Amino acid sequence: MEYVGEHLWAANLGRGLTALSFTMALLSTFSYYANGQDWKKLGRFAFRVHAISLFGLIGTLFFIMANHYFEFDYVWKHTSLDLPARYLFSAFWEGQEGSFLLWMFWNAILGFILTYSAKSFEGPVVGVFAAVQAFLVSMVLGVYIGDLHIGYSPFILVRELQDNVGLPWTQFTDYLTRFPNFMDGEGLNPLLQNYWMTIHPPTLFLGFASTLVPFSYAIAGLLRRDYKSWINSALIWSFFSVGILGVGILMGGAWAYEALSFGGFWAWDPVENTSLVPWLTMAAGAHLLLVQKNKGGVIPSALFMLVLTFLLVLYSTFLTRSGVLGDSSVHAFVDLGLSGQLLIYLLFFSIGSLVLLLARYKGLPKKDKEDRMDSREFWMFIGALTLLISGLQITLSTSYPVFNKLFGPDGLITLYDKDKVLSDPIDHYNAIQIPFAVVIVLLIGAGQFLSYRKTSTALFFKRQILTLAATTLCALLSSWSLKMWNPMYFLLLWASYYAIIGNLEFLIRWAKGNWNVAGSTVAHVGFGLIIAGSLVSNANKDVISKNKTFIHEEFPANENLLIHEGDTVQMGDYWVSWTGQEEEGYYLNYNLEFFKENQGRLETSFNLKPRIQLNEKMGNVAEPSTKHFLSKDIYTHVTYADLRTELEKSNEEWKNQFDLELVQGESHFLYGKYKVQLDTLVVEAPSTDGELDYVVLGAGISLRTMQDSVYKIMPVYAVQGDKANHVDTEIEELGLKFRFERINYETNKPVISAAERTEEEEPFILIKAEVFPWINLLWLGSLMIAIGTFIAIVTRIRRS
Amino acid sequence: MKNSQIAIIVAIAILIGYSLVRLGNSSTYSSFEDALALNGEKTTVIGFLDLEGTMDFNPETVQFSFTAKDKKGNISKVIYNQPKPQDFERSEEITMTGYGTDSAFIATEILMKCPSKYNEQNEVDSDKIYK
């Protein structure tokens, strides 16, 4: 059958390139492993062809998305005609298929670079890359063998979807023009229509992709029993990974803070957690490599950490893409039915690398002498261990849905009969992670003052008297001004100030701005600022939009404030008024004006425009609006607004419709406040030649109010043939309407319906406003981590 | 004994200790009936909106109440002291975390799953053809 208007060439091109890319990745893997000069050349050639065909396939997908070829399922699901071009990228990686492609894209780029830079390690390193890529490409392969399907292609047509095959509409060759559903796509989720969504996913996926480089070096080292010559390269890549992954995660936080209305930058959602954990272990691995390079003796733990990091990335992929998280995450991917394939991918690399590690364990170079307790390497090892434990804790708690699948009521081995769930994830993680954070920032602060091998205790303390004094003073001052005296919080604040001040002092006084240490010190100051900023802004977060509801101290029922249009109400230190709303594209902007009291007069302080994105297809979404000050943010969002259109509102002009069956001379009560009486029934029924022309009935009714005012009305009911007409009567002053509905033929009584006018509601909105103090420390810290890592990498590349 | 071995043992001890603590932080998925039997302990019920029941939102007190049916078919009134979520009527499945009481289930957190418009496409199309 020939369909009209389909772009089959794009489907064929895309699928062809996918197949080519897949075979070339496999070929490259085998050739690299075959080992030998010619094989190596073939492996390299195959990898490059793989990469180029991958770029071609990505380009093809972009092309069909940009041109809105809605016969393609992926295009239909993720774009729409009204999607602004700048969100095309977000639309591209909104779905599983596109984000797999994004990940492969970075792997291909990194692999491409390694075919030049890895030199003698090219074989095993790029070989691992090729194997990973083969698994990843298989996820978008879309090959069906009987009932089994391998991968899910982004080039599948809507009519080829399993659910649609054989449906009647697929019989129309012109289905694309015949059915309006194909004129426009579903479009991009409004939550993702944000510039952060253009830069956060590529950065994060570059971070994920970069964890593969140290992993590949570790595997290569194990295969060759070489535990020395690759350390420096792996070290640089590890820190690259720590920097990029860290920035990627923080960008996700910035997006959540700016575009989502859950009120914060971090919610301990499983998707966030599983991206944080590889960062923690990568930071541990990178620092162990540093110890290995400067002192040696930690090869086993360094190898373990690098291998584990990549495996955790795979585990994260499995969790977020297999549908296993289901109810526990707000932003996991939609399940594509790839869980089996994802599991094989995870198990292949886990078993393969762990077996290799175990097999080589005996021959690994170990410490000849035990580390001293006052050596830098000992405490760096403790730091790495803390990061690992912290990461394992997060992994275990995030894995509840997995445990439920394994040991729950429907699991493989039933150990408990009801699925378990974390009852309060945010409190749970905060309570357990804060002590780990304290240890980490303390070590960051002390680290610079420790020497490798041995530190003189006297010198260690003498060098940092100033730091300790300044830290204590700053922590006391901050706690006093914030009234934050929770001992755990104070300890964390003190420790993060120690990390910040200690590193700054080290940089200025002892290292004298030496570039070789500047990178790490700046990054460490950044980390301290992130911890301090997160702590201060979250622990002292203050909801200023308080209403008067009180249920229980710990029950947040009073956090939303009702504002009538034009009204000015007090909110925290401010007065706020809602001056109206305006439409801007898909958005409804709510204009809020904030005033400050100054000598008894209100002066405009600033304006905010929280908004609601109107999206018929995906549902309406509230977007916050934030006023940034140096020392605090005021974060507002509309939590409720009446979004009915004028037409919908006017349909609800009358309410409480009530039918009265009236008997002449008898009084009836209406709405508990009116007395209604039928005085007379007027009938007009002319006839010609014995045939009834029409009947007009009028009910003469008197209505008496509680104040004894009497109104006389006469609703009219007219019947001609099979048509009926009503002439309604209204009593304007009382807001009442009467209609002569019909005659009840069983009782022969007139039925009059009454209705009350809906009082016009004064428009109102509910808003929630929170103050986040000193959240700028967090963003400053993020920036410093990025800059610090960059400096560190550049100086290391220069030195080597 | 080596220092690093001590450190590893301490780390393992922390992890085991944590696992024990963690047991206290977990709750189970229940039905409305179970939730009542839990005597005010926090729990999670998965259900859906019962359109035959009442639904009311009072913006003055910021109280939203609705009727929900859980997966076992128990029907309960649910009170949520937060603004009514956008598109609540369209929700397909509602995950409610909170406490069971005699008069209603008091939800502190509500997550909604909304139907994908995508699935509706086929229905619409086939409808048109049969007509």
The residue assigned the tokens 């378990």 is: A420
Rounded Cα distance between B122 and A781, Å, is 50
Same domain, residue pair A254 and A368? yes
Q: Which range has highest mean pLDDT (A296-310, A536-550, A558-572, A722-736)?
A: A296-310
As a whole-number percent, the residues of chain A with pLDDT over 70 amount to 96
Whether residue A56 is found in the same domain as residue A183: yes
- The arithmetic mean of pLDDT across residues A582-600, rounded, is 89
Contacts of residue A90, Cβ cutoff 8 Å, sequence gap at least 6: A188, A192, A193, A194, A197, A198, A201
Both A662 and A640 in one domain: the answer is no
Statement to judge: residues A182 and A143 lie in one domain: yes
pLDDT tens digits, residue range A481-525? 999 999 999 999 999 999 999 999 888 887 777 877 889 999 999
Give residues with Cβ within 8 angstroms of A605, minimum separation 6. A574, A594, A595, A596
Q: Which residue has the higher pLDDT, A334 or A540?
A: A540
Write down the pLDDT at residue A139: 94
The total number of structural domains that make up chain A: 5
Going by pLDDT thresholds of 50, 70 and 90, the confidence category of residue B17 is: confident
Q: Is residue A628 part of a domain?
A: yes
User: In sequence order, which residues have a C-beta less than 8 Å from that of residue A297 and are 6 or more positions away?
Assistant: A291, A365, A366, A367, A368, A371, A377
Between chains, do A622 and B86 touch, taking CB under 8 Å as contact? yes
In a 3-state reduction of DSSP, which class is residue A788?
helix
Return the residue of A nearest to B89 by Cα: A619
Are A472 and A490 contacting, i.e. CB atoms less than 8 angstroms apart?
no
Question: Residue A272 above 70 pLDDT?
Answer: yes
> Treating both helix axes as pointing N-terminal to C-terminal, what angle do A270-294 and A376-398 enclose, rounded to 10 degrees?
160
In a domain, A510, yes or no: yes
Contacts of A423 in chain B (CB under 8 A): 25-27, 42-44, 97
Name the pLDDT band for A332 (thresholds 50, 70, 90): low
Task: Tell me the H-state helices in A550-630.
Answer: none
Checking if the pLDDT of B127 tops 50, the result is no
Cβ separation B4–A370 shorter than 8 A: yes
Q: Tell me whether residues A421 and B27 touch, CB distance under 8 A.
A: yes
Which residues lie across from A602 on neighbouring strands? A597
Query: Once rounded to an integer, what is the mean pLDDT over residues A579-602?
Result: 89
pLDDT of res. A334: 66
Place of tokens 């003055």: B60
Scan for tokens 């570790």, then name that residue: A218
Chain B residues in contact with A330 by the CB 8 A cut-off are: 111
| Residue of A335, A403, A639 to mutate when probing chain B, most B C-beta within 10 A | A639
Quote the pLDDT of residue B22: 61
Q: Please report the DSSP string for B8-67 in residue order.
A: HHHHHHHHHHHHHHHHTTEEEEE-HHHHHHTTT--EEEEEEE-TTS-EEEETTTTEEEEE
Q: Are residues A630 and A772 in the same domain?
A: yes
**A561 and A546 Cβ atoms separated by less than 8 Å:** yes
B4–chain A nearest CA distance, Å: 8
pLDDT at B122 over 50: no
d(CA A550, CA A652): 33
Residue A649 scores a pLDDT above 90: no
Rounded distance between C-alpha atoms, residue B14 and residue B17, angstroms: 5
With a threshold of 0.80, does the pTM exceed it?
Answer: yes
pLDDT tens digit string along A125-146? 999 999 999 999 999 998 888 7
Domains and CATH numbers, chain B: 28-115 (2.40.50.140)
Q: Are A201 and A188 in contact (CB under 8 A)?
A: no
Note whether A147 and A247 are same-domain residues: no
Other CB atoms within 10 A of residue A637 CB: 24
* Residue B68 to chain A, least CA–CA distance (Å): 17
Please indicate, yes or no, whether residues A418 and A432 belong to a single structural domain of this protein.
no
CA B75 remoteness from chain centre: 15
Q: What is the mean pLDDT of chain A?
A: 89
Alpha-carbon gap, residue B79 to A54, rounded angstroms: 52
Kindly state whether residue A202 falls inside one of the protein's structural domains: no
Alpha carbon of A683: minimum distance to chain B alpha carbons (Å): 42
Closest partner CB to B59 (pick from A421, A424, A766): A766
Report chain B residues whose CB lies below 8 A from the CB of A622. Answer: 86
Confidence band of A411 (pLDDT split at 50, 70, 90): confident
3-state helix, strand, coil in chain B (%, to 5): 35, 35, 30
Distance from the A104 Cα atom to the nearest Cα atom in chain B, whole angstroms:
27
pLDDT at A237: 97
Count of CA atoms in the C-beta half-sphere (13 A) of B24: 9
Residues A417 and A432 in one domain: no
pLDDT of B54: 82
Of A179, A562, A612, the CB nearest to B60: A562
Angle at A73 between CA A69 and CA A76, to 5 degrees: 55
- Quick: pLDDT tens for B74-119: 899 999 988 888 778 878 788 888 888 888 999 988 887 765 443 3
The domain in which residue A310 lies consists of 218-422
Q: pLDDT value at position A653?
A: 72
| Residue A400: predicted pLDDT | 86
Among all chains, which residue has been given the structure tokens 């509680």?
A706
Report pLDDT digits (tens) over A193-223: 888 889 999 999 999 999 999 999 999 999 9
- Name chain B contacts of A640, Cβ cutoff 8 Å: 57, 59, 83-84
Give the DSSP H or E segment for A539.
Answer: helix A515-539
> At residue A76, does pLDDT exceed 50?
yes
Predicted pLDDT of residue B129? 34
Residues A254 and A297 in one domain: yes
Final residue of a structural domain among A501, A533, A565: A533
Q: Cα separation of A390 and A395, whole Å? A: 9
Answer yes or no: do A522 and A561 share one domain. no
pLDDT for res A328: 62
